[in-house]
Amino acid sequence: MSNICVIGTGYVGLVTGTCFADLGNQVTCMDIDPDRIGKLLNGIMPIYEPGLEQLVTQNVQAGRLHFSTDHAQSLANAEFAFIAVGTPSGEEGEADMQYIRSAVESIAEHVDHPIIVVNKSTVPVGTGDLVAEIITRRRGNKPLEFSVVSNPEFLREGSAIIDFMNPDRIVLGSVNKEAANKVAQLYLSLRCPILVTDLRTAEMIKYASNAFLATRISFINEISNMCDELGADVREVALGMGYDKRIGHAFLDAGLGWGGSCFPKDVKALAHMAVLHGTHPQLLQAVMEINRNQRRRVVMRLRRALGNLNEKVIGVLGLSFKPNTDDIRDSPSLEVIHLLENEGANVRAYDPQAMEATARVIKHITLVKNPYEVADGADALVLATAWNEFKQLDFNRIKASMKQAIILDGRNLWDPAQMRHIGFQYIGCGVGASSNGNPQ
Ligand code: UGA
């Protein structure tokens, strides 16, 4: 059993802290935001993450998980200080380091015993060295015995607990192999490959992984746009490619593209790092450009189906950037809504979890209680997020209530043949002619 302090209670920090507590450690999750900690102390989760509330409650009751706003108290007995604070995009696409710096400063200020500082936040390559520098400088002639380990996270929102408990790999980067091995001990019970590297390599593994996944999605979206024109079905193209073990099936779902708090920020930050160091990130630029265009394409295709969008009523199903989360950061759905409104459309939307978050950001948006209200009187319906709830709807009822039976399936969630049989003009993403000889 180890004593762990996790700084930052976003979805990474909170999930990491809670899971470490569940593995039997003593964990304090600390955050400078008193509202967040107040909520957590009252058993209220600041984010929607399946299974999190129950796991937090169990571990608080077992006396292994604590919450605090107090640095000194949280770090008092910690052998490990995990940093899991945000690194939002700065003005040029660079990662904004202010929260990392201030977390490191507080460790330097409040710790007086040997400690391993573990960085979980996604940070520019070279940050591990910067962390060591900040601590050393800050302590001056009262040196602290510490090591820095980079331990990037690979958790997906919506399945973060399952991902934590069943990792494909753990990556640990450090100049101090003994410190990396101590961090490795925390993960031993998860029985997965543990890769120990130097600091910079571990930091790069994180960026390269996210950028590669984003590249796969943009790649299949480019193929999907060609499928639209050439009459092939991208879903079967992806399947056929995926059986090749060198390619695999994951992250080849064509649609509105990638969003969220990670891919957009990380691909941008990696490209920014490349430029800063004199290399030309032409692939990453194309990956981002393709992704932007997927959102614009929706509007273009609706325009083609409806003539012009002025005063047209467009229903949008799904607001979060992907299913099983209430996160709307860089959500393709919100961008599509913005573009539709720009063309004069009246948008009406529904999401199972993300309505509150959306109402805070888009004040004027019309949010309704269910998918049927979205469809009622609409000129077209856009499926933007592939929530399970949208898979099985009463499509005859939906068709009967719409002004024009046009659906744009932005996630290829529905069966084109079934939709066309019901009488919809179905517009998918790259499903081409194979569905019914009716390419869009
Ligand atoms: C992503 C990575 O998958 C995690 O490994 C990583 O830890 C995390 O970022 C992070 O850096 O914190 P996440 O942002 O939660 O996780 O979401 P994903 O499930 O990866 O999906 C990202 C976006 O890609 C979503 O908008 C999703 O709809 C889209 N997507 C995904 C597709 O359009 N097609 C696909 O085939 C897969």
Question: Is 435 within the bounds of a domain?
Answer: no
Q: How many whole angstroms separate alpha carbon 370 and alpha carbon 317?
A: 9
What's the domain range around 373?
210-427
For residue 434, CA distances in Å to 228, 304, 395, 405, 417 come to 10, 21, 22, 21, 9
Pull the structure tokens for residue 2.
Answer: 């180890």
Residue bearing tokens 């325009």: 303
Which residue's CA is minimally distant from atom 3 of ligand 1? 156
Nearest-CA neighbor of 273 among 195, 197, 208? 208
Question: Is 432 within the bounds of a domain?
Answer: no
| Number of Cβ atoms within 10 Å of the Cβ of 289 | 10
Cβ atoms of residues 4 and 78 within 8 Å: yes
Structural element, H or E, at residue 229: helix 199-230
Q: Measured in angstroms, how far is the CA atom of residue 199 from the centroid of ligand 1?
A: 24
Q: Measured in angstroms, how far is the CA atom of residue 207 from the centroid of ligand 1?
A: 13
Query: Helix, strand or coil for residue 6?
Result: strand
Q: Measured in angstroms, how far is the CA atom of residue 178 from the centroid of ligand 1?
A: 33
Report the atom number in ligand 1 closest to the C-alpha of 260.
14
Are residues 159 and 31 both part of a single domain?
Answer: yes
| Number of Cβ atoms within 10 Å of the Cβ of 193 | 9
Which residue's CA is minimally distant from atom 10 of ligand 1? 262
Report the atom number in ligand 1 closest to the C-alpha of 122.
11
Are residues 150 and 244 both part of a single domain?
Answer: no
Of 148, 164, 197, which marks where a domain is finished? 197
Are residues 80 and 179 both part of a single domain?
Answer: yes
**DSSP characters over 313-345:** EEEEE--SSSTT----TT-HHHHHHHHHHHTTP
Q: Any residues with CB less than 8 A from the CB of 370 and at least 6 apart, and which?
A: 350
Q: Which residues line ligand 1 (CB under 6 A)?
A: 122, 153-157, 210, 213, 217, 251-253, 255, 257-260, 262-263, 321-322
pLDDT of residue 433: 58
Strand partners, 439: none
Which residue's CA is minimally distant from atom 1 of ligand 1? 156
Report the atom number in ligand 1 closest to the C-alpha of 331.
26
Strand ranges for 35-121 from DSSP E:
65-68, 80-83, 115-119
Q: Measured in angstroms, how far is the CA atom of residue 253 from the centroid of ligand 1?
A: 11
Q: Measured in angstroms, how far is the CA atom of residue 129 from the centroid of ligand 1?
A: 28
Are residues 217 and 184 both part of a single domain?
Answer: no
Which residue's CA is minimally distant from atom 18 of ligand 1? 156
pLDDT of residue 95: 85
Q: Which residues of 320-349 are buried (b: 16+ CB within 10 A; e: fewer)?
A: bbbbbbbbbbbbbbbbbbebbbebebbbbb
Q: Measured in angstroms, how far is the CA atom of residue 424 from the centroid of ligand 1?
A: 30
Pull the structure tokens for residue 6.
Answer: 């996790």
Of 197, 229, 258, which marks where a domain is finished? 197
Question: Is 434 within the bounds of a domain?
Answer: no
Residues of the chain with pLDDT under 50: 434-440
Provide the number of structural domains found in the chain.
Answer: 2
Cβ atoms of residues 170 and 202 within 8 Å: no
Which residue's CA is minimally distant from atom 33 of ligand 1? 257
Q: Any residues with CB less than 8 A from the CB of 304 and at least 6 apart, and which?
A: none
Are residues 131 and 236 both part of a single domain?
Answer: no
- pTM of the entire structure? 0.94
Of 197, 220, 249, which marks where a domain is finished? 197
Residues 5, 19, 227, 262: which is the catalytic one?
Answer: 262
Which residue's CA is minimally distant from atom 22 of ligand 1? 258
Percent of the chain with pLDDT over 70: 98
Structural element, H or E, at residue 147: strand 146-150
DSSP 95: B
Q: How many whole angstroms separate alpha carbon 17 and alpha carbon 164?
A: 11
Which residue's CA is minimally distant from atom 29 of ligand 1? 258
- Ramachandran angles phi, psi of 368, nearest 5°: -120, 175
Are residues 222 and 186 both part of a single domain?
Answer: no
Q: Any residues with CB less than 8 A from the CB of 284 and at least 6 apart, and which?
A: 211, 215, 267, 270, 271, 274
Pull the structure tokens for residue 303.
Answer: 């325009």
Q: How many whole angstroms separate alpha carbon 239 and alpha carbon 244?
A: 9
Report the atom number in ligand 1 closest to the C-alpha of 159.
15
CA angle, residues 359, 363, 367, in degrees to nearest 5: 50
Q: Which of 52, 85, 89, 210 to mutate to test the pocket of ligand 1 (most atoms within 8 A of CB)?
A: 210
Question: Is 148 within the bounds of a domain?
Answer: yes
Are residues 122 and 184 both part of a single domain?
Answer: yes
Are residues 352 and 386 both part of a single domain?
Answer: yes
Are residues 11 and 99 both part of a single domain?
Answer: yes
Question: Is 433 within the bounds of a domain?
Answer: no
Is residue 227 flagged as an active site residue? Answer: no
Report the atom number in ligand 1 closest to the C-alpha of 12.
12
Q: Which of 121, 209, 258, 294 to mutate to test the pocket of ligand 1 (most atoms within 8 A of CB)?
A: 258
Are residues 362 and 385 both part of a single domain?
Answer: yes
Domain at 113, CATH number: 3.40.50.720
Q: Measured in angstroms, how far is the CA atom of residue 208 from the centroid of ligand 1?
A: 14
Are residues 261 and 383 both part of a single domain?
Answer: yes
Q: Which of 155, 336, 390 to mutate to test the pocket of ligand 1 (most atoms within 8 A of CB)?
A: 155
Helix, strand counts (H, E) of the chain: 17, 14
Q: Which of 222, 322, 331, 351 to mutate to test the pocket of ligand 1 (most atoms within 8 A of CB)?
A: 322
Q: Measured in angstroms, how far is the CA atom of residue 422 from the centroid of ligand 1?
A: 33
